[in-house]
Structure 1
Amino acid sequence: MVLFRRLLGDVLRDVRLQRGMTLREVSAEARVSLGYISEIERGQKEASSELLFSLCTALDVPLSDVLRDVSDAVALEEAASELAAVPAA
């Protein structure tokens, strides 16, 4: 099963690391607790649209880019699941 929140967390973590930012820096910039951001990145919590916007602003990345990357990751996981379900000939 594809979990949107896990893939979203992966994308947000990747963006944060690409920008060389710590959780503490994102937390301060987004005004969201460090622990909550960590839970989002690990796919343990769902991010509201307002929170997601704050995180994207703190990371200086367009929300549409994050959602596009998550959509691509969902498509890849769906394709992999379909391939795994095909019986071997």
Structure 2
Amino acid sequence: MIVKRFGEVLRDLRKQRGLSQEKLAELANMHDRHISFIERGLRKPSIVIVFQLAKALDIEASELILMVEKRLRQSEEE
């Protein structure tokens, strides 16, 4: 559940910033397939990846985690 919600938040943030998976991958120094796998909940991002993605999205890693926690709480309430 956490991995899926993380992917949803990542996708939402990427789209809000008008970034393609390829561009986000470039900014985060990752392969675009890895971004795709994370967004679809098929890969568990390491703490290093979380920090790289947050930096690429111009937010703090803690803010990214808080967004995932909020999404988890919302899904539990539904």
Q: TM-score normalized by structure 2? A: 0.93
Query: Which has the higher mean CA deviation after the structures are superposed, 62-71 or 41-50?
Result: 62-71
| Deviation of the 1:50 alpha carbon | 0.1
Other-structure match for 2:25: 27
- Structure 1: segments with no counterpart, 5+ residues: 81-89
- Structure 2: segments with no counterpart, 5+ residues: none
Mapping of residues 38-57 of structure 1, within 5 Å: 38-57=36-55
Q: Cα deviations across residues 25-79 of structure 1 (Å, max 9, x unaligned)?
A: 1111111110011100111100000011101111111111111111111112222
Instruction: Point out the structure with max Rg over C-alpha.
Output: 1
Please give the secondary structure, in 1, of the residue aligned with 2:24. helix
Other-structure match for 2:71: 73
| Deviation of the 1:4 alpha carbon | 0.1
Other-structure match for 2:13: 15
Write the distance in 1 (CA, Å) between the matches of 2:53 and 2:66: 16
Q: What value does the CA root-mean-square deviation take over the aligned residues?
A: 0.9
Please give the secondary structure, in 1, of the residue aligned with 2:69. helix
Q: How many residues align?
A: 78
Q: List, as ranges, runs of 4+ consecutive aligned residues in structure 1 with deviation greater than 6 Å.
A: none
Write the distance in 1 (CA, Å) between the matches of 2:12 and 2:53: 13
Q: TM-score normalized by structure 1? A: 0.83
Letter in 2 for 1:13: R
